[in-house]
Chains A and B, each alone.
Chain A
Amino acid sequence: MSTSDLYQAVILDHNRSPRNFHPMEGADRRVEGYNPLCGDRLTLWLKLDGGRVADASFEGQGCAVSRAAASLMTAAVKGRTTAEAEALADRFTALVTGRLPDGAAEREPLGKLAVFEGVAKFPLRVKCATLSWHALRAGLRGEGVVTTD
């Protein structure tokens, strides 16, 4: 178990320069996400258009894993249907909890998100990686606040 599995270059890059890191005017959904364990919090904004995620952005405080996960999540779900976004959330959660079956075919749909595979070796950090995805699910379902508990 080495932290180099966790702190991949892509994750460090998205931590340093998070994408879609701003509030959104005219959003359809605004979700507050909290991790009560560590005090991390984020706000996620979604613009929905005809069953698709037209736009996504976030702001908040968190560790490199949670910040990079939120950054990559917003980039990954833009343009997807809500059903596709939910499916991606499920696949991502399976990846970081070590429940995704082996094989490239299972990872291919994740694209860049596959860099989070190392999180599975650090059970205490799973919630860091999934906070923004919890918020996404809540937003797609019309809920406003979510915690990792």
Chain B
Amino acid sequence: MMAGQGSRVEGQAREGAGVSLDPRPLTLDCRSDFPILSQRVNGRRLAYLDSAASAQKPRAVLDAMTAFQETAYANIHRGVHTLAERATVAYEGARARVARFVGADDPAEVVFVRGTTEAVNLVANSWGAANLKPGDAVLVTALEHHANIVPWQLLAGRTGLRLIPCPVTDAGDVDLAAWERLLDAEPVKLAAFLHVSNAIGTVNPAREMAAMARARGARVLVDAAQAVVHLPTDVRALGADFLCFSGHKLYGPSGIGVLWARRELLEAMPPWQGGGDMIRSVSFAGTTFAEPPSRFEAGTPAITEAVGLAAALDWLEGVGIERAAAHERGLVEEALARLAELPGLRVIGTPRERAAVISFVMDGVHPHDVGQLLDEEGVAVRVGHHCAQPAMERFGVPATARASFAAYSDAEDVEQLVRGLGRVREIFA
């Protein structure tokens, strides 16, 4: 469970040794930064345990977006007037902020998209369509979100690529021996995998998986949608060629996300959507395209949302991402211990390292009914297949209930969850 990050943070806090000295306590108390959490739901205190689906937004993000709309909003890259200038500076500033967040040297490696799903689709339709030939393999894992399965299946119909899932163990870890074996046995041109499983919480050994793939000449795409909010991201250290994530799981707004890709790859990639802002010049004889990242940002983008994303990164790094992760780890451990005491409740997956996600099923009660009854207690969890049906199938369940934690989660949320599950058991006795 975040073993690396978590224990390092604790070590620093206790011994005062290490690279980043953070004297602040490990237990966060930032619930009051989130206006939405102060309301009552069905007459109860809101225990929002659905952050892996979408995180709530701190006041700082809401204020930054409102201030931008009230003082600086206009279309970008086009006008010469004052507001156009302000908006362009803010939008490009957000790009530079994202580059710093992921450890990229060059803001031009950051392409703004709608979210992780669009980022994967962009890579599939641009890089994939240009580089994948019949018989080429795209290696994924059996834990993938549909967003990293379906774009490749759609592309397979056009290019003849083969999509190969690497098996996962009963614990919910990627079978690394199989990963290596498949890389050796198949003509893998791209290894595309999630860093953290949204369905069961597994933290994959992404660096190791990437290194194995790169050593065999494959490109590496990391779906970091669930990872960026819990683990410090450094694209160079990770060894990725493409990194995809969404703003809304990072305490930012929906409608904005990021594709980071190595500059040389982006430069060689053809556009995938045509329109304004992505061209150098257009005539009916032919059109030449802009350099990256503009080449991949046709049309007016989500300008205010980019500003909101930058504010979210400021907020998160202000709190401290490792500190938040350690806080979440404590809550997850507490929750796992409490859930283990509930008869008939089974947690799905026991991965070596777990992010802030717990997926579970209850004997004789369908997850939808669990979710409905928890809602009445003010507890918000996700129920269903989590857009990861192959992962559900791997564990022999059609669906689960999922509690996921964030920086603003606290011990009372865990308490409310456990109480609510007790009531579910009473009703479905």
Chain A interface (Cβ < 8 Å from any Cβ of B): 1-3, 6-7, 12, 15-16, 37-41, 61-65, 67, 122, 125, 128
Do the beta carbons of A40 and B398 come within 8 Å of each other? yes
- B427's closest neighbor in chain A, by CB? A7
Q: Report how far A20 CA is from B372 CA in the complex, Å.
A: 26
List residues of chain B with CB within 8 A of the CB of A64.
365-366, 368-369, 428
User: What are 11 residue pairs bridging A and B, where the CB atoms are less than 8 Å apart in the complex?
Assistant: A3-B373, A6-B372, A15-B428, A38-B368, A39-B392, A39-B399, A40-B398, A40-B399, A41-B398, A61-B399, A64-B428
Q: Report how far A112 CA is from B369 CA in the complex, Å.
A: 21
Do the beta carbons of A38 and B428 come within 8 Å of each other? no
Do the beta carbons of B42 and A1 come within 8 Å of each other? yes
**In the complex, chain B residues 396-429 whose Cβ is within 8 Å of any chain A Cβ:** 398-399, 427-428
**B57 CB within 8 Å of chain A:** no
Nearest chain A CB to B383's CB is how many angstroms away? 7
Chain B interface (Cβ < 8 Å from any Cβ of A): 42, 364-369, 372-373, 375-376, 383-385, 389, 392, 398-399, 427-428
List residues of chain A with CB within 8 A of the CB of B392.
39
Kindly name the residue among A37, A39, A61, A65 whose own CB sees the greatest number of chain B CB atoms within 10 A: A39
- Contact (A39, B384) CB under 8 Å given A63-B369, A125-B372: yes
- B384's closest neighbor in chain A, by CB? A38
Do the beta carbons of A61 and B369 come within 8 Å of each other? no
- Contact (A3, B384) CB under 8 Å given A38-B399, A63-B368, A64-B369: no
Do the beta carbons of A38 and B385 come within 8 Å of each other? yes
Nearest chain B CB to A88's CB is how many angstroms away? 25
Q: In the complex, which of the residues A2, A3, A61, A122 contacts B398, with contact meaning CB atoms closer than 8 Å?
A: A61
Do the beta carbons of B385 and A2 come within 8 Å of each other? no
Q: Report how far A37 CA is from B368 CA in the complex, Å.
A: 11
Nearest chain B CB to A14's CB is how many angstroms away? 13
Q: Identify 17 new A-B residue pairs, CB closer than 8 A, beyond the known A38-B399, A64-B369, A122-B372.
A: A1-B42, A3-B373, A7-B369, A7-B373, A7-B427, A12-B428, A15-B428, A38-B384, A39-B392, A62-B366, A63-B366, A63-B372, A64-B368, A64-B428, A67-B366, A125-B372, A128-B368
Q: Report how far A12 CA is from B372 CA in the complex, Å.
A: 14
